[in-house]
Amino acid sequence: MEIGVVWRSLLAWSVVSYGLGYDVTDLKYVAQQLLEYPRFRIFWAALLYRPLITIFAVIGIAVLLDRWARPHGDSRAGMMILGFLVAYVGVGMFQSAHVHFRYVAHADVFFMPLAALGMIFIGDRLLGIAGSPSASRTGPSGWSLAEIALVVALVVVILNPARAMLSVNRDYVANGRVEALMRLGRYPDFKSPSDYIQANRRPGDQILVLEPREYYNYLGPIDGWIQSSGFESQTVMWEGRPHDRYIGTPVLQTISEVQSSIRSNGGRTWIPFNSRILLTSRHWVDDEIAEFLETNLNRRQMTAGDQTTVVLLFSDD
């Protein structure tokens, strides 16, 4: 009923606005902003970023509301609901893309238990329909088959010891059936290029990279971040030029800046990068930068363990 009131109010507002002389395109823009609201606020992001698990979380919320609303309601259910609302309303007050939802760890503290509660509730009801004597419990004692199945699923999917062992023992290019089953595909090698550069660099050499924080972990301060489109939100202005927001690496935003940095540097210039961006991931790098890297592949000094990351060396020697 409440939803109907909201929609009728929006419809009435649109009709009145049109009658007052607002252009149809203006109304379309406002409606579009309302419909795209989840894209800009993390508050609604769960439905977009985790659509399947959100279904269970919504059911879990309904179960908690039912327990809280009873004459002698469960205060723990009320605290869970309030904690969930505080976390999500808090993060929803800050404008951000919904993909950043995966970084909201403090909201997951409430979101994941709600999803687990929804899974248990559905499992109990399904077992009840099937006539299982362990289903549809209301008391706190004992475990239902649904709860056992949930724990087993969490261990297999999240805590699987075989997956942990494979993660630390696999090769960079492991593509076997077991790795695919455990969702462990190939991954980039930052260590080998860093070790190679560290062993061969000279005083005055500079290092320009496309992934500054990853190489920072091995090489320390990086001289320049060749920044491609889509990463502007991760920069901050300092002393009149953009820098990486987290480690302070100066940003090179255009191919002319990259070439100027190479020419003006007194020593040599190292550029490690994953050559896959020239093929399957071309959208992550600007065309001019991609063409520059592709043209200079003949300067390759080594190929990393992932078989796609290469190290280029620009030198006048």
**pLDDT 10s digits, 56-71:** 889 999 999 999 988 8
First to last CA, the chain: 77
What whole-number distance in Å separates Cα of residue 86 and Cα of residue 78?
12
| Inside any domain, residue 230 | yes
For the cut 90, the answer to whether the pLDDT of residue 283 exceeds it is no
Asked whether residue 55 falls in the same domain as residue 115, the answer is: yes
Q: What is the DSSP letter of 248?
A: -
Of the listed ranges 95-104, 174-183, 187-196, 249-258, the least confidently predicted one is: 95-104
Mean pLDDT over the full length of the chain: 82
Exposure pattern of 43-82 as b/e (b: 16+ CB <10 Å)? bbbbeebbeebbebbebbbebbeebbeeeeeeeebeebbe
| Inside any domain, residue 83 | yes
Asked whether residue 120 falls in the same domain as residue 210, the answer is: no
Asked whether residue 151 falls in the same domain as residue 199, the answer is: no
| Inside any domain, residue 213 | yes
Of the listed ranges 122-131, 136-145, 216-225, the least confidently predicted one is: 136-145
Of the listed ranges 12-16, 34-38, 64-68, 102-106, the least confidently predicted one is: 34-38
* Angle between helices 75-92 and 105-129 in degrees, nearest 10: 130
Question: How confident is the model over 208-214, as a mean pLDDT?
Answer: 94
| Structure token digits, residue 213 | 């924080």
Asked whether residue 134 falls in the same domain as residue 212, the answer is: no
Asked whether residue 233 falls in the same domain as residue 140, the answer is: no
Asked whether residue 227 falls in the same domain as residue 122, the answer is: no
Question: How confident is the model over 192-198, as a mean pLDDT?
Answer: 97
Of the listed ranges 40-44, 70-74, 155-159, 254-258, the least confidently predicted one is: 40-44
The pLDDT value given to residue 138: 43
Residue 179 or 268, more confident:
268
Asked whether residue 213 falls in the same domain as residue 265, the answer is: yes
Asked whether residue 206 falls in the same domain as residue 277, the answer is: yes
Asked whether residue 148 falls in the same domain as residue 202, the answer is: no
| Inside any domain, residue 25 | no
The pLDDT value given to residue 317: 66
Instruction: Note whether 44 and 99 are within 8 A (CB).
Output: no
Query: In total, how many domains does the chain have?
Result: 2
Asked whether residue 288 falls in the same domain as residue 213, the answer is: yes
303, containing H or E segment? strand 300-303
Asked whether residue 309 falls in the same domain as residue 197, the answer is: yes
Instruction: Note whether 107 and 91 are within 8 A (CB).
Output: yes
| Inside any domain, residue 179 | no
Question: How confident is the model over 3-25, as a mean pLDDT?
Answer: 69
For the cut 70, the answer to whether the pLDDT of residue 140 exceeds it is no
Instruction: Note whether 213 and 244 are within 8 A (CB).
Output: yes
| Inside any domain, residue 7 | no
| Inside any domain, residue 168 | no
Query: Per mean pLDDT, which of 99-108, 154-163, 253-262 is the most reliable?
Result: 253-262
Asked whether residue 221 falls in the same domain as residue 275, the answer is: yes
Range of the domain at 205: 191-314
